[in-house]
Structure 1
């Protein structure tokens, strides 16, 4: 069993794919951006009888399959129905696989999340139904369903009676900037390292107008990256480079401030919003005359999981959010934290 999880689903507190992945001995869960998933699947080896659980006119009903028609490897998409459609759309290899569907005899029990119709199933329920069709003798499937039902009941016990209208669940709620609800491809997350401050009497002093020396950014929902090392006397300081974890290849590709501005402006689109965590990062763009798009800072965003002014590192650790740094630079690590936080906010 292979579960392909949409990136926005991995942070959802009621996600059931994690339960399935932990409960089944022959199960693998992969969560990446759609384009990265497509690349990864092109390199993966599958069984000759691999299939995907995905409804449609060409999908075969699993309960009507003969033993010879049973797939011996099944792919399940984890996310909302919209997420599943985007995964199918963006991963060409999935489009070529045989499709299978379920016909639930009764409504799903995933009452703590909105579903597109009364018979929609959670990933856990769909997995159990598929396994019962393919492997009727698999042990403890009913135990897994019982654990799922208990989880749902507990959530209802602790939730307020009007939980569906709770402001914290409402798209565009006051605590989360509305721009984060828009098309992900118009969101560019960014982080910049600033030049080293001067030393006065043995103590470091920040430059009056700090400029960026290393800038990295990523467009959500795509594989578009931006990275630039910008000419600065600070880069001659070995200790400074070590602190930023810059490597020789970063220094070999240094560009002028003017070239940085041109490249950064070319990367941005008219509809983009640049999202940073700290106001000082936004100020770097302003100081470099490179603030070509609206900029949103997230440090002041106040949610139950992220108290106002709280540390981003602390939030990542406390919520066990997965991060995927592009390389070993300090900027890449911090940008990965920012991406995890943005995806977290988009799911609230």
Structure 2
């Protein structure tokens, strides 16, 4: 067993603790680390936390029910460090608490999508003074930075002392240099990766029985204003549309358990009265579970609907993310479902229910048919008719 430093959790020969500063800050730094990132030995969130006494490190994906994060999100002096078109310079209005999402770009985007409270907080971005030094990890763009680099730059701008926070980078540079040296010295033969399975291999079990797949999309009650700065509650499922390849359909409007958001009916493209007069949530979800059955597998576009169902306490049946399968096949992100379907040269859909959810399930139907065709060609098998 390797001797590991309890503090930085790195093997003793590459422990960087001696190079860690202890930098007092006016700004409270709150790191939200994706669980997968915690298992990455060359991650920098813990290094950042150890360098800043006025910091917190939380692990998770969904923080909507976390009282601490709710309080921070409701404070006007809190900002989220996240780039994008709506991000403001870090040297703008005062920031007392800085929330930092730690993960890959894909993980960070997903975490914001699953945390509407965080997504609504003011965002700040930074302009790097120099290119990132994360030479042991592939970044999507040259200007992308490691978490510790981004936090050092942001604190330098917020507190007006850029040079002071350069001390945070000594341990980071040591870790990068030692990792590169280790790779150069290593004489062990490189492991051969097993050939990757065909991109659409997950669809093979359904070539002969596509009716096991239940295509589903859900709409949420979200987006209502919080009263007096109080934390807004998490989203709740209010519309659910599903269908099978065999043509069976399911639709339910779930009566809201909380005040209906002011723009929910408009966003879901259904009359507000249908939402307010919906059936009891427990009864609707019971019907849906019976519709899916014991062998059913959910087919979705992304994880949003599955997460909504899980928040409602529904069991988690097996799932196939058709967006992910499209991305594997196309070797690029497909974007929205309509654009993805057209890029695959799928047919035009027929709505399978009311509003936006019904239209999405129609798109899911044509995407699935096209992907099954492609999977059958890859497999050398004829698809069932109908």
What is the TM-score of this pair, normalised by structure 2?
0.41
